[in-house]
Amino acid sequence: MNTYRKLIIIGAPRSGTNMLRDALCALPGFATWDCDEINPIWKHGHLHSHPHDDLPPTLANPAARAFVRTRFDRLAHATGAQVVVEKTCANSVRVGYLRALLPEAEFIFIRRHGADAVASAITRWRSSLPLRYSLKKARYVPLQDIPFYAARALLNRLRQAVDPGHRLRAWGPMTESIATAARCGDVVRAAALQWQECVVRSLAELPETRVEVRYEDFVREPQVELRSILSAVRSPKPEAAIVGATRAVRAGLAGQGAQRLLAHGQLPIVAPIINPVLERLGYAPV
**Which pLDDT belongs to residue 279?**
95
**Which pLDDT belongs to residue 162?**
65
**Which pLDDT belongs to residue 220?**
94
**Which pLDDT belongs to residue 12?**
98
CA distance 252 to 235: 28
pLDDT in tens, 155-187: 766 666 666 555 556 789 999 999 999 888 899
Q: What is the mean pLDDT of residues 264-269?
A: 97
Q: Which long-range contacts (CB under 8 A, 24 or more apart) does 263-270 make?
A: 266/119, 266/122, 266/188, 267/115, 269/186, 269/188, 269/189, 269/192, 270/114, 270/115, 270/118, 270/188, 270/191, 270/192
pLDDT in tens, 111-167: 999 999 999 999 988 876 666 666 777 788 888 888 877 777 777 666 666 665 555
pLDDT in tens, 187-212: 999 999 999 999 999 999 999 999 99
Mean pLDDT for the chain?
91
| CATH number assigned to the domain covering 5-281 | 3.40.50.300
**Which pLDDT belongs to residue 79?**
97
CA distance 213 to 190: 25
Lowest mean pLDDT among 68-72, 141-145, 279-283: 141-145
Q: What is the mean pLDDT of residues 269-286?
A: 96
**Which pLDDT belongs to residue 105?**
98
The pTM is what? Answer: 0.92
